[in-house]
Amino acid sequence: MECETLILGAGAAGLFAAAHAGQGVVVVDHAAAPGEKIRISGGGRCNFTNLRTEPGCFISENAHFATSALSRYGPQDFLALVEAHAIAWHEKKLGQLFCDGSARQIVAMLLGLAQAAGAEVWLSTTIGEIGHADGRFRAALSGGGREGVMSARNLVVATGGKSIPKMGATGIGYRIAERFGLRVTPTRPGLVPFVFDGGFPDLAGVAMEVGAEAGGARFREAMLFTHRGLSGPAVLQVSSYWREGGTVRVDLCPGRDVADLLRAARQGEGRRALKAVLGDVMPARVAEFLAPAVGGARQVATLSDKALADVAARLQSWELRPVGTEGWRTAEVTVGGVATADLSSRTMAARGVERLYFIGECVDVTGWLGGYNFQWAWASAHAAGTAIAGARRAA
């Protein structure tokens, strides 16, 4: 079996690369259907990009690596494609764009673009040993009614990361990179809930806006208490920066001068218990839960300015130490991956191995929650696909 370009992975990056790489493309995936992570994303509506995308919204050893690809294919480019295919969309918040209907519309669009470009998509196909000789890559393939070795001039690795293994994530892209001498940075689950000893069963289901901080990054969004720990956008965001053994700081009243509010309550409602006053600025269940730690049973009239300032400081810098995260099982992304120092930021080609490309989540570029990772998939796939098509035209 022979083709011009073999793409491993029929997800967001793989399908989009196929749409741009020219003729003679074969996309293979072990899954029975293409774009499965797209299908489940955004509650089934796919948060397909973010209008606020910029390099600073990504985690990587090289903070500037994503700049080139994103500057040449940005959110407005993908949005134009969505609109050209009559897919209705809306902005939810913070630049996050979702389909009005179903994420399946994005999958269908990508599959249609790839097939219109002449690409074949082989599903239920397992990737075996991969080699390289005489200027061609060879990949052992099995399943899907096809058995044998595929020979290809170009190889594009778009196999994703380790997140959500129940959907088939294996980290095979990292093994391929190492097979060809590329470095892989340490990987860890990202955009994942925290777990604490005992969890928060009494608060499970309570959501509130907070400022969460870990690893030098801070996000002001919603936090959700769970039976096992903490989740919600603010927590998922900082989880990508958190390292095992580290702490998380939570501001339970972001943007408010809690000490001033407490002093005002002491002046006008001195007989009220502190926990009752706190219930005015946060969910009552949270105030009740924190009361023993801050002397919440006392009347605010009995508390000095210093005592009130101490209470405010504890509430606006609540320090927590997770025992861990929920891990790969629920992580939305992988932090780390194929080292950017071993890739071209313009074409995503491997340095030292001609016509080998790595794109999407398997690369050490991880976006924030909110459509950034999809935009990286589109941008990196566009960079590799157009580079392959351009080289073919030049030849």
Residue pair 124/143 in contact by the 8 Å Cβ criterion: yes
User: How far apart are the C-alpha atoms of 259 and 294, rounded to whole Å?
Assistant: 13
Nearest to 210 by CA among 190, 194, 199: 194
- Six-digit token pair at 208? 């509130």
pLDDT at residue number 270: 87
Give the separation between CA 186 and CA 184, rounded to whole angstroms: 7
SS3 of residue 143 by DSSP: coil
Look at residues 307, 325, 343 and tell me which one is the last residue of a structural domain.
Answer: 325
For residue 260, what are the CA distances in angstroms to 290, 306, 310? 19, 12, 12
Provide the pairing of β-strand 25-28 with 120-122: parallel
What is the C-alpha to C-alpha distance for residues 376 and 378, in angstroms, rounded to an integer?
A: 5
Please tell me whether residues 89 and 158 are part of one structural domain. Answer: yes
- For residue 186, the model assigns a pLDDT of 97
- Please give the pLDDT value at position 162: 87
Backbone angles phi and psi of 106, in degrees to 5: -70, -40
Residue 111's SS3 state is helix
Instruction: Give the per-residue pLDDT at 52.
Output: 97
| Residues of the domain holding 308 | 258-315
Burial profile 126-165: b = 16 or more Cβ within 10 angstroms, e = fewer: ebeebebeeebbbbebeeeeeeeebbbbbbbbbbbbbbbe
Instruction: Give the rounded percent of residues in the chain with a pLDDT score beyond 90.
Output: 90
Same domain, residue pair 153 and 205 = no
Asked whether residue 290 falls in the same domain as residue 371, the answer is no
Are 175 and 375 within 8 A, CB to CB? no
The helix (run of H) or strand (run of E) holding residue 17 is helix 12-20
Separation between Cα atoms, residue 6 and residue 143, nearest integer Å: 16
- Our count of domains for the chain comes to 3
| Residues 221 and 310 occupy one common structural domain | no
What pLDDT does residue 395 have?
Answer: 76
Q: Do 180 and 204 fall within a single domain?
A: no
Whether residues 202 and 244 fall in one domain: yes
Are residue 382 and residue 365 in the same domain, yes or no? yes
Same domain for 145 and 36? yes
Q: β-pairing, 25-28 with 2-8?
A: parallel
Q: What is the pLDDT of residues 9-46, one digit of tens each?
A: 999 999 999 999 999 999 999 999 999 999 999 999 99
My answer on whether 34 and 168 are in the same domain is yes
Q: Which residue is associated with the tokens 């939570």?
A: 250
| Domain boundary residue, one of 267, 296, 325 | 325
First to last CA, the chain: 22
Q: Which residues of the chain have pLDDT under 50?
A: none
Number of Cβ atoms within 10 Å of the Cβ of 324: 14
Q: Is 110 helix (H, G, I), strand (E, B) or coil?
A: helix
Residues 37 and 61 in one domain: yes
Question: Which CATH number is 362's domain given?
Answer: 3.50.50.60
Among candidate residues 290, 325, 360, the one where a domain is terminated: 325
Verify that 132 and 229 share a domain, yes or no: no
- CATH number, domain containing residue 202: 2.40.30.10
308-326 pLDDT, tens per residue? 999 999 999 999 999 999 9
228 & 370 share domain = no
For residue 57, the one-letter residue type is C
Predicted model pTM = 0.94
